[in-house]
Amino acid sequence: MRQLSELKEIVGTWRGLEKRINDLLEMVELIIEENDASAADDVRRETAELASQLKNLETRLLLDGEHDHRDAILSIHAGAGGTEAQDWAEMLLRMYTRWAERRGYQTEILDISPGDEAGIKSVTVEVKGEYAYGYLKSEHGVHRLVRISPFDADRARHTSFVLVEVLPEVEKEIDIKIDPADLKIETFRSSGPGGQHMQKTSSAVRITHIPTGTVVSCQSERSQYQNKENALKVLYARLFQLEQAKREAERAKLKGARIEAGWGNQIRSYVLHPYKMVKDHRTGYETGDATSVLDGELDEFITAYLHHILEKEND
């Protein structure tokens, strides 16, 4: 029923677009017949709106992966570099939050580990919205920043690295099953912000999946129950990813293909000094407007990546 509802919505969107285009064509004919120049501005505005909607829908057609329609779980981990990398991780958190706001998506921080002096060591965010995973999967990989360090008295240029992980949110017990006996659940006091209540009570939760050694934790909520639910949400997503990776490895082995190690790849560079540029190393797409990119303007990079994947599949 859910799949039927989604398909009806897709068809309805395209039918609605078709009707608006036909109405616009009729309006153009009337303007020509009556030589009504005053209505031309309305036609231009409507045409621009339709062109923008069509561009978004064309991008949506590229999101045909099995899990693209799902919500996403986004994790950001500061790499080597101490305060520099932790500050860069927080900059990326702001970038993705702003991008989600622009699209009307909802974001919720499931777990966060503050930096020692500034920034964050790691954060896990749930991004809720139609095709959130399909769009954000392009961000999975290592992001590199080059800039003059605000933490260096000598104003030296520094390079920082941050790993971004993107997982589709899974449906418990449908996509993957977990035996409760395989889970080790521990509680501890929160180390993050949140007032005295969170720091005095053992509301934070750490869950270990014993067979795989996968560990997740959550300490963003006051409620131990809510932290446990959020931790389980992340655990299901990580175990689902492990299962998918295992299947991909088996398929690649049968084909005799070499498996790419995607975890450590540097996918994009953000240069703020001596010039400004953001370049995606997979697609070659780049822009000199680094400020807008860091403010959440990611759609051109995402679209370029989706076209890049389509071209690779057709080769």
For range 101-122, the mean pLDDT = 92
Q: Which tens digit of pLDDT belongs to each residue from 45-84?
A: 889 889 888 887 888 888 888 889 899 999 999 987 789 9
What are the b/e assignments for 220-238, b being 16+ CB within 10 Å? bbeebeebbebbbbbbbbb
Q: Angle CA(202)–CA(207)–CA(212) in degrees, nearest 5?
A: 160
Closest to 276 measured CA to CA, from 295, 260, 263, 251:
295
Which residue, chain included where needed, has tokens 């500061």?
78
Q: Is the pLDDT of residue 262 over 50?
A: no
Q: Return the number of other C-beta atoms located less than 10 Å from residue 41's C-beta.
A: 9
163-181 confidence digits (pLDDT tens) = 999 999 987 656 678 888 9
Buried b (16+ CB within 10 A) or exposed e, 64-77: eeebbbbbbbbbbb
pLDDT of residue 198: 44
Long-range CB pairs of 98-101 (<8 Å, 24+ gap) are 98/295, 98/296, 99/296, 99/297, 99/298, 100/127, 100/129, 100/132, 100/296, 101/296
The residue ranges of every structural domain in the chain are 2-61, 72-169+265-314, 180-255
One of 3.40.50.150, 3.40.640.10, 3.30.160.20, 2.40.30.10 is the CATH number of 180-255, namely 3.30.160.20
Q: CA-to-CA distance for 228 and 206, rounded, in angstroms?
A: 8
At position 31, the amino acid (one-letter code) is I
Q: Which residue has the higher pLDDT, 266 or 107?
A: 107
Q: Which of 309, 282, 312 is nearest to 61 (CA)?
A: 309
113's CB contacts (< 8 A; 6+ apart) are 120, 121, 122, 123, 191, 192
SS3 213: coil
In the structure, what pLDDT confidence band is assigned to residue 259 with cuts at 50, 70 and 90? very low
| Residue 190 φ then ψ, to 5° | -65, 140
At 200 the pLDDT is: 53
pLDDT single digits (tens) 28-48 = 888 888 877 777 888 888 898
Calculate helix-pair angle for 40-61, 2-34, nearest 10 degrees: 150
Average pLDDT of 228-239? 91
Quick one: average pLDDT of 5-21?
Answer: 88
Q: Which CATH class for the 72-169+265-314 domain? A: alpha beta
Reported as a single tens digit per residue, the pLDDT across 90-108 is: 999 999 999 999 999 999 9
Which range has highest mean pLDDT (14-23, 224-233, 281-290)? Answer: 281-290
Fold agreement (72-169+265-314, 180-255): no
d(CA 110, CA 184): 19
pLDDT of residue 176: 78
Strand pairing of 266-271 and 141-148?
parallel
